Structure 1
Amino acid sequence: MKLIGSLTSPYVRKVRIVFLEKKVDIDLQLENVWAADTQMPSFNPLGKVPCLILEDGDAIYDSRVIAEYADALSPVSKLIPSDNRERATVKTWETLADGIMDAGILARLERTLRPAEQQSQDWVDRQMGKINNALRVLSEQLGGNAWCHGNQMTLADVAVGCAVGYLLLRFPQVQWQTQYPNLDRLYQKLLQRPSFMETEPPKA
């Protein structure tokens, strides 16, 4: 299998971590979706990463779909519970974490792609408000627990780790580590795992 993505995308990092935790080997093919000569639309018509190319050539895209597919490939390190209610809870954590990444990327694109005179501060503020609200809820739901859900790491923890890691990379001004020390404790624990170490995004 081949995973098409970038080293700085938090969505790509999420599925790479899942594959590493599952001990399923994949080849990573780097692609810049913003380059004029990008081939991404030939793999995913939406032009987004990550995109997983299966052995038979079929493509699977969207990080949530890929993560769920990957979790079913091996019984090692089950990340999504089989119980319907627990599964929904873990997937809701993932949705909230993905929402932080969605809002962060929208705010970043407003600043990096749009000419200064066309940028909307209201739009950026709206996205940052989503991030702040989501961080507050994540912290409240985590409380003093060791993991987001249950007594072991799940996809919820992977998604949250990727979301806050993305904030550290692109929005260091968001002081979530001091405001929500329980989220930081979780993140520091995740950083000790080889899957998180190996997928640490480049700072440049």
Structure 2
Amino acid sequence: MVVIREKGIICELDDAAPSSSQVVAANPLAKVPTLILDDGRALYDSSIIVEYLDGLVATPKLIPEKFEERIEVKRWEALGNGIMDAAVAISHENREPKETRKGPDFYAKQQRKIDAGLATMEKDLNDEEFCHGDTFTLADIACGCTLICVDIRLPKMDWRKHFPALARHLARIVKRGSFNIL
């Protein structure tokens, strides 16, 4: 939704659950997000949807055209996705009955992924205004969404204390209108 707002795309949004009949009919994986195109085809997975939306509307360009820059932005996206996957895994596991939870090794493994991922983001951001280059890109969206996800899924994790550049970056980018929906 952040990309839709950044690009100024007008579309119908439906807050459907992954198990809803509409999502199941459109997406064989029964996952959200799913983007249903005007011709009825469906796109699934955030990275494909973002790629489509960035190509659909020329400006602002969120994924650079130049190969090296594009790869760097997509690297931020992949890193964010990995951190979010680990945060969601912990959050889901916390909802399981205690007797069926996977145990401390599972939690430690997921937490290491989050910590290492955030440390990499912190180092790479290096107090710059943007995650990559001199303009707002998908890298900044990925970073912001990742940090918000960690806040929501792991509210007791005090990542701001350990990653102050990320904390400052999030404080800046959530002021953008596109992040008002989160």
- What TM-score bracket applies, with the shorter chain setting the length? over 0.9
Distance 2:117 2:11 in 1: 32
Which whole-Å deviations, capped at 9, do the CAs of 1:2-58 have from their partners, x for residues lacking one? xxxxxxxxxxxxxx111111111111111122x5x6542211111110000000000
8 A Cα contact 1:23 1:76, kept in partner = no
The more displaced of 172-181 and 79-88 is 172-181
- Of 79, 89, 101, the match for 1:119: 101
- Of 8, 25, 50, the match for 1:23: 8
Is 1:96 paired with 2:66?
A: no
The match for 2:116 is 133
Matches within 5 A, 1:155-166: 155-166=138-149
Structure 2: gaps (5+ residues): none
TM-score by length of 1: 0.85
Aligned CA RMSD, in angstroms, stands at: 1.2
8 A Cα contact 2:122 2:165, kept in partner = yes
- Of 103, 110, 135, the match for 2:93: 110
Structure 1: gaps (5+ residues): 1-15
8 A Cα contact 2:17 2:32, kept in partner = no
TM-score by length of 2: 0.95
Which whole-Å deviations, capped at 9, do the CAs of 1:63-85 have from their partners, x for residues lacking one? 00000110011122110000011
The residue type paired with residue 186 of structure 1 is H
Secondary structure, in 3 states, of the residue corresponding to 1:52?
strand
Distance 2:156 2:173 in 1: 22
Is 1:55 paired with 2:41?
A: no
Which whole-Å deviations, capped at 9, do the CAs of 1:138-197 have from their partners, x for residues lacking one? 000110211100001100000110010011112122111111111011101111100001
Distance 1:77 1:131 in 2: 30
